[in-house]
Amino acid sequence: MVAVTGIGVVSPHGDHPDAMFAALMRGESAIGEFIGDFPNAKPAAVASVAFDAGAWFTPLQLAGVDRVSQLAVAAATRALADAGAAGVYEPARVGVYVGCGMGGGASLEAGYISGLRNGRVPPLTVPAFMPNAPAAHVAMRLHATGPALTYAVACASSAVAIAEAAKAIRGGEVDMAIAGGSEAVLVPGVVKAWQVMQTLSVFAPGAAASSCRPFATDRGGFALGEGAAFLILESTERARARGARRHAELAGWGMSCDATHLTKPDAAGQRAAIGNALALADLAPRDVGYCNAHGTATRIGDQVESEALKAVWGTDIDRLRVSSTKSMHGHLLGAAGALEAAITTLALRESQLPPNANCASPDPACGLDLVLETGAVASGLDAAITSSFAFGGSNAVLVFRRA
């Protein structure tokens, strides 16, 4: 199997995995309000991160490094430190696998605005916004000279990146993988684009924190989030040989495409990805006790995901506890899979389940055993899954087991 030996985050709940997980277990929301500078702009619910770029980059470097790459470098560096793996591996045997859905949104938007206003576009706009910039910066910062690959699969991006990294570990292509994702698109143009799709939550003044209500009867969309999360993956044998702590084991992964619609999810495609992941992990559905769901709090998305879970678990669906932590940290788009993989890993390690927050009235049409309470303990939890279902019909599911 593949061991998770390091976790690094820059999240809406902070930059330490244990503190982040503790806040989630308390049901604390990191979601607030954002108002862009468009005419007649309406407030949007977002979850931002507190980040000091100057602690990681010089002013000269920052001229060409978008926030999405800044967050990636910080989270990946922290993951490597957590694994105690700096200098342990030959650089050519270390791979970087990064998911990023939209690249350097801030640099792209700033470049367009500058060009329209004064006819000048900053000269480093292209290298700042290119989607593979986070992977390149992580590789340079951590001196990883193996493959540095980027996966842009919308909301499944970083889950796919982690799965591909695990394949490379299992196949002997690399000895260590720095795998995860980053996203930073809380800029007026991008937020406005999501608003006009009518996928973002609408809320009363002062109620942004509880605006994302996955699987609830009154759900009405998600909150955009930003941040980065990375896992350090190694073979279980190598991790044991160097005496590394194993947070959990990545036992299986599955991917599929709905091939039906660009934005509308399909239960059959999701069911296939879940089934593939369980088969690779050699687990039956009843062996898995927790699902960190994709759970975007959209009307159709939550219903389709529920259908897929019930189809796979069948009569054992009551044995599966479910929560969507997007209710508290927002939807990180391309980085969502990585952050939720980190949270799922910690849930297994700590035998605790984060809540499906803000769900005062669970939708009976979804029919899932939601984790509605805070501080939920799962002493017998041995395996858990996390799902990422994306625009474009791409589905990615990761299965973790207790180390």
Residue 247 lies in a domain: no
**pTM, entire model:** 0.97
Residues of the chain with pLDDT under 70: none
Is 246 inside any structural domain?
no
State the pLDDT at residue 34. 94
Distance CA 270, CA 130 (A): 30
Residue 235 identity: S
* Domain boundaries, position 143: 2-241
Say yes or no: 268 and 215 in one domain: no
Residue 9 sits in the same domain as residue 120:
yes
What is the model's pLDDT at position 335?
Answer: 98
> What is the reported pLDDT for 168?
98
210 and 279 in a single domain? The answer is no
pLDDT for the residue numbered 38: 79
Rounded CA-CA distance 258/88 in Å is 41
Say yes or no: 37 and 164 in one domain: yes
Cβ-in-10-Å burial (0-12, 13-18, 19+) of 105 comes to: buried
Residues 204 and 338 in one domain: no
**Same domain, yes or no, for 199 and 257?**
no
Shared domain check, 304 and 225: no
Q: Record the tokens describing residue 219, joined without a space.
A: 């759900």
Query: For residue 114, what pLDDT is reported?
Result: 85
Are 220 and 314 in a shared domain?
no
Q: What pLDDT sits at residue 108?
A: 87
Tell me 63's DSSP state. Answer: T
**How many alpha carbons lie under 13 Å from residue 147 in its C-beta half-sphere?**
18
Q: Which residues of 238-276 are buried (b: 16+ CB within 10 A; e: fewer)?
A: bbeeeebebbbbbbbbbbbbbeeeeeebbbebbbbbbbb
Say whether both 145 and 204 belong to one domain: yes
Catalytically annotated residues = 155, 294, 331
H or E segment to which residue 93 belongs? none
Is there a contact between 401 and 251 (Cβ–Cβ < 8 Å)?
yes
CA distance 3 to 382: 15
385 and 264 housed in the same domain: yes
pLDDT digits 0-9 by tens, 255-304: 999 999 999 999 999 999 999 999 999 999 999 999 999 999 999 999 99
106 and 12 share a domain? yes
How large is the greatest C-alpha to C-alpha distance in the chain, in angstroms? 64
Same domain, 270 and 215: no
Distance in angstroms (rounded) separating the CA atoms of residues 182 and 106: 13
- How many domains does the structure of the chain reveal? 2
pLDDT value, residue 229: 98
Digit-coded pLDDT (tens) for 56-83: 999 999 999 999 999 999 999 999 999 9
The closest of 184, 186, 183, 205 to 42, measured between CA atoms, is 205
* Residue-level pLDDT at 252: 98
Q: What is the enclosing helix (H) or strand (E) of 94?
A: strand 94-99
Helix locations, 27-153, DSSP H: 59-62, 67-83, 105-118, 125-129, 133-142
